Amino acid sequence: MSEKKVATEGYLLLILAVFTWSFSEIIVKLLHGSVGPIALSFFRFFIGGIFLLAILFIKKDLSGMKKMIKDNLLLILISSCFAFGFSNIIYFFGVTFTKANIASTIYTTYPIWITIYSIFILNERNNLRFKFIGILIGIIGVALLMTDFNLLGLFSSEYLLGNSLVLLGSIIWGLYSVTGKKIQINEKETSNCALKFSAISSLLACIPVLIFLPFTSEINGFLFYDFDAWFWISFLGIISTGIGVYLLFEGIKRIEVSKGFSLAFLKPIFTTILAFFILSELPSIALLVSISLVMASILLITNNPRSKG
């Protein structure tokens, strides 16, 4: 398969991954008042991990998982428990002290941190000038969409604590995909490596959430949900987390992490469109402006300048 075809396949897989993630905010809103955010974090990781493990069981390919954990123990703990699980808790804490749209805007800065991490951990140094310009344009586009042109809300002292926690969550989460790809590079000989790492990381991400959950009021109604709630919980776990994470690592296996995550800027656009169809929330004029800026951002970040001479 040609290099160009492999890259195209990688971008398509990542677009699908971003689309599955775009249901997350919709589901959180649908479950508001019935399932708390911390409990929902546990279920998304646990159900997603079990689902991926079941696929491996059906494939009759569970070999190499112990070796993967043993040979990459520190990286797996950092990526799964810290970058995946713990960052999710910090993010949800931050959201409670700020506005949801502002939180989404700040959290979407993670392509910046991913690009920085990938420079030092994966040595991805191509096209850095265009990448950072593209990231800046993408963040502006997302900010306009999520704040509806009220950018001053991002810097309000009223939401300083919440905004700071959300930013910290974004910075920590950026490690997940980079350390995940590093593990894939280390485990080239392992069959279905992306699937196995996705299953392991999802299940290990439950640990920090389980440690925190008993100290919240959410523990009182834990597991006692109606059929509709369980449907959306399962959807979040299987589609948005299990399949989404698997598609993520299959995608970045084929292209640079920093380039692939430029597509994350599509998430607010997908979410806005899904909100229109599922929640009947009308999109604003900011969506059209945002789409234009995000497209320009992705083109700059994924640009492959021809070498001179």
Render each residue's pLDDT in the chain as its tens digit; 309 residues. 688 899 899 999 999 998 998 888 788 778 878 888 889 899 999 999 999 999 999 999 999 999 999 999 999 999 999 999 999 888 877 877 876 656 666 777 788 888 889 888 998 888 788 888 888 888 888 777 666 677 666 666 777 788 788 889 889 998 998 999 999 999 988 999 999 999 999 999 999 999 989 988 999 889 999 999 999 999 999 999 999 999 999 998 898 887 887 787 788 778 878 878 887 877 667 767 877 887 788 778 777 655 444
Angle in degrees, CA 288, 17, 45, rounded to 5: 125
Whether residue 154 contacts residue 105, with contact meaning beta carbons closer than 8 Å, is answered with: yes
Domain coordinates of the chain in residue numbers?
A: 3-301
CA-based nearest residue to 124, from 302, 251, 296, 259: 259
Q: Give, in order, the Cα–Cα distances in Å from 45 to each of 35, 81, 124, 238.
A: 15, 11, 29, 9
pLDDT at 10: 92
Q: Specify the pLDDT at position 39.
A: 92
Q: How far is CA 303 from the centre of its chain?
A: 23
